[in-house]
Amino acid sequence: MDVFKKNIGEVFDGRYKINRTIGVGGMAIVYEATDLMTNKRVALKMLKDSISDNTQALRRFINESKAVAMLNHPNIVKILDVSVKTEHKFIVMEYIRGITLREYMNRKGTLDWREATEFISQILLALDHAHMKGVIHRDIKPQNIMVMEGGVIKVTDFGIAKIPNAETVTMIDHAIGTIYYISPEQAKGKKIDERSDIYSLGVMYYEMVTGKLPFLAENSYGIMLKHISDTPTPPKKLNPKIPLGLEQIILCAMEKDVVNRYQSASQMLRHIYRIKKDPTTIFQKQTPAPRTPTAEVAIRRTTVHPEEHENAPQKVVPQKISPRTPQSHKAARPARGRRTPEYVPFSVVIVICIAFLALAIIGFVILFYSLANAKVTLPEAQAFLSFAEQAPSTLREEACRFIGYPYL
Which are the catalytic amino acids?
Answer: 149
Element housing 379 (H / E): helix 378-388
How far apart CA 351 and CA 160 sit, in angstroms, is: 84
How far apart CA 207 and CA 109 sit, in angstroms, is: 10
Quickly count: other Cβ atoms within 10 Å of residue 131's Cβ. Answer: 23
Element housing 44 (H / E): strand 40-47
* Crossing angle (nearest 10°) for helices 244-253 and 265-277: 170
Cβ-Cβ contacts under 8 Å for 157 (sequence gap 6 or more): 64, 139, 143, 144
How far apart CA 312 and CA 25 sit, in angstroms, is: 48
Task: Tell me the DSSP string of 76-103.
Answer: BPPEEEEE-SSSS-EEEEE---EEEHHH
For residues 246 and 117, is the Cβ–Cβ distance under 8 A? yes
In terms of Cα–Cα distance, which of 100, 122, 124 is closest to 25? 100
- DSSP strands (E only) in 354-397: none
Q: Exposure string (b/e) for 181-214, b if CB count within 10 Å is 16 or more?
A: bbbbbbbeeeebbbbbbbbbbbbbbbbbbbeeeb
How far apart CA 129 and CA 76 sit, in angstroms, is: 9
How far apart CA 221 and CA 193 sit, in angstroms, is: 22
